[in-house]
């Protein structure tokens, strides 16, 4: 996943550094691609339908088996609230959780609204402000919607997404909405479900497919690479799910505080700074290699790896290119610019 135009990348790097934030919007729809594109387009326009500057949609990742899509929105810190809120409102208008079906766990028409700072120019407090504004804005404008908070936005506890999802019953096949107590808004309704809204350092999504239909084997490999398992990978949260006749290990790769670990000869861990603090995350190649080794011991091969969106650096660099050229619907253009 590299830009195939060094000139364009150079041009972007010479432009003034924008104060950018990414929102990787997770919506519970992938089989109706027109619906998902309408949600993405809503992020780009104001109430009058006029496309806004300083906003781009870099990518749309659809997974029909999961019936889930991830829309990568990047905007200036001053524009990200309106972009995300507009997309959430459109998703709630078009997606009805009463008829949703898919193998990936979900709770809401808009399932997840995470905000990530892209560079030292944006701090934690600003991302929290935008996340809270979206959570309250959504529940105030979409009657019956509700939200829980995670990460930096979950003050003062700052509980992580995995913990909050567990508390809300997100991992259950049939969550009991009536038993939940959302942080913002009324009791969750089946029409909209429950939306997670939060802010954190960047979370990369990396899915590795192993060549088996045995979900028990997949779960054993997933357990072995989770961050809290002895020998597991820092920052890695993972689910084993049936996917296209095989088993996919769907990994959330959270950034961890501190300098990259590992031997100097190992592949470097991508790193960045937020509020003066160093962070890094496990590279996709390491996750794939670890899964491949665990699968090999069980006599199983690896079919492939998919990145859902980008690494933090790719996200930043591509956003600079898209915004410098005024490309809002970058997901339609990226094949021309990168390979």
Between 265 and 106, the higher pLDDT residue: 106
By three-state DSSP, how is residue 95 classified? coil
- Asked whether the predicted pLDDT for residue 15 surpasses 60, the reply is no
pLDDT at residue 336 in the model? 59
pLDDT at residue 47 in the model? 72
pLDDT at residue 7 in the model? 38
- Asked whether the predicted pLDDT for residue 261 surpasses 90, the reply is no
Among residues 288, 218, 219, 221, the alpha carbon closest in space to that of 246 is found at 218
- Asked whether the predicted pLDDT for residue 228 surpasses 50, the reply is yes
- Asked whether the predicted pLDDT for residue 46 surpasses 80, the reply is no
Residue 288, phi then psi, degrees to nearest 5? -60, -45
Average pLDDT over residues 97-113: 95
Average pLDDT over residues 227-240: 94
Q: Please, what sign has the CA dihedral across residues 192, 198, 202, 207? A: negative
Encoded tokens for 81: 């609230």
- Asked whether the predicted pLDDT for residue 2 surpasses 70, the reply is no
Average pLDDT over residues 163-172: 92
CA 12 – CA 28 distance, rounded (Å):
33
Question: The pTM is what?
Answer: 0.91
- Asked whether the predicted pLDDT for residue 82 surpasses 70, the reply is yes
pLDDT tens digit string along 306-337?
Answer: 988 888 999 999 999 999 999 999 999 876 55
Q: 136-145, 240-249, 301-310: lowest mean pLDDT where?
A: 301-310
Average pLDDT over residues 259-284: 86
Inter-residue contact 180 to 171 (CB < 8 Å) = no
* % of the chain with per-residue pLDDT over 90: 81
* % of the chain with per-residue pLDDT over 70: 93
- Asked whether the predicted pLDDT for residue 14 surpasses 70, the reply is no
Among residues 37, 16, 131, 3, the alpha carbon closest in space to that of 328 is found at 37
Among residues 190, 83, 181, the alpha carbon closest in space to that of 134 is found at 83
Mean pLDDT of the chain: 91
By three-state DSSP, how is residue 210 classified? strand
pLDDT at residue 323 in the model? 96
pLDDT at residue 182 in the model? 96
- Asked whether the predicted pLDDT for residue 247 surpasses 50, the reply is yes
pLDDT at residue 114 in the model? 98
Residue 198, phi then psi, degrees to nearest 5? -165, -175
> Helix-strand-coil percent breakdown of the chain, rounded to 5?
35, 30, 40
Encoded tokens for 274: 């937020």
Average pLDDT over residues 154-170: 95
- Asked whether the predicted pLDDT for residue 128 surpasses 90, the reply is yes
Among residues 93, 41, 33, 99, the alpha carbon closest in space to that of 61 is found at 33
pLDDT at residue 283 in the model? 93
Average pLDDT over residues 66-91: 97
DSSP 296-323: HHTT--EEEEEEES--HHHHHHHHHHHH
- Asked whether the predicted pLDDT for residue 259 surpasses 60, the reply is yes
Q: With helix as H, strand as E and coil as C, how does 153-178 read?
A: CCCCCCCCHHHHHHHHCCCCCCCCHH
Average pLDDT over residues 163-192: 92
pLDDT at residue 337 in the model? 53
- Asked whether the predicted pLDDT for residue 5 surpasses 80, the reply is no
Between 96 and 339, the higher pLDDT residue: 96
């Amino acid at each position: 996943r590299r830009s195939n135009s060094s000139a364009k990348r150079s041009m972007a790097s010479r432009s003034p550094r924008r104060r950018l934030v990414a929102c990787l919007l997770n919506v519970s729809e992938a089989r109706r691609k027109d619906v998902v594109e309408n949600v993405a387009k809503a992020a780009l326009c104001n109430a009058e339908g006029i496309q806004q500057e300083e906003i781009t949609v870099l990518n749309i990742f659809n997974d029909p088996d999961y019936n889930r899509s991830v829309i990568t929105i990047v905007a200036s810190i001053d524009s990200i609230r309106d972009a995300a809120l507009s997309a959430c409102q459109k998703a709630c208008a078009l997606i009805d959780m009463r008829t949703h079906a898919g193998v990936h766990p979900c709770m809401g028409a808009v399932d997840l609204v995470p905000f990530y700072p892209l560079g030292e120019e944006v701090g934690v407090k600003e991302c929290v402000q935008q996340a809270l504004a979206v959570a309250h804005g959504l529940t105030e404008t979409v009657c019956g919607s509700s939200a829980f908070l995670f990460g930096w936005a979950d003050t003062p506890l700052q509980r992580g997404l995995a913990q909050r999802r567990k508390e809300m019953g997100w991992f259950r096949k049939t969550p009991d909405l009536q038993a939940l107590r959302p942080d913002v808004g009324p009791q969750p309704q089946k029409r909209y479900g429950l939306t997670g809204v939060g802010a954190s350092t960047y979370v990369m999504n990396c899915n590795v497919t192993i060549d088996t239909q045995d979900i028990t084997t997949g779960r054993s490999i997933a357990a072995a690479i989770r961050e809290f398992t002895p020998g597991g990978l820092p920052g890695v949260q993972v689910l084993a799910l049936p996917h296209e006749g095989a088993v996919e290990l769907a990994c959330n790769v959270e950034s961890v505080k501190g300098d990259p670990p590992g031997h100097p000869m190992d592949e470097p861990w991508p790193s960045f700074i937020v509020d003066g603090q160093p962070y890094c995350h496990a590279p996709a190649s390491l996750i794939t290699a670890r899964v491949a080794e665990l699968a090999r011991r069980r006599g199983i091969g690896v079919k492939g790896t998919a990145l859902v969106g980008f690494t933090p650096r790719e996200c930043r660099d591509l956003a600079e290119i898209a915004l410098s050229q005024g490309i809002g619907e970058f997901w339609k253009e990226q094949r021309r610019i990168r390979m």
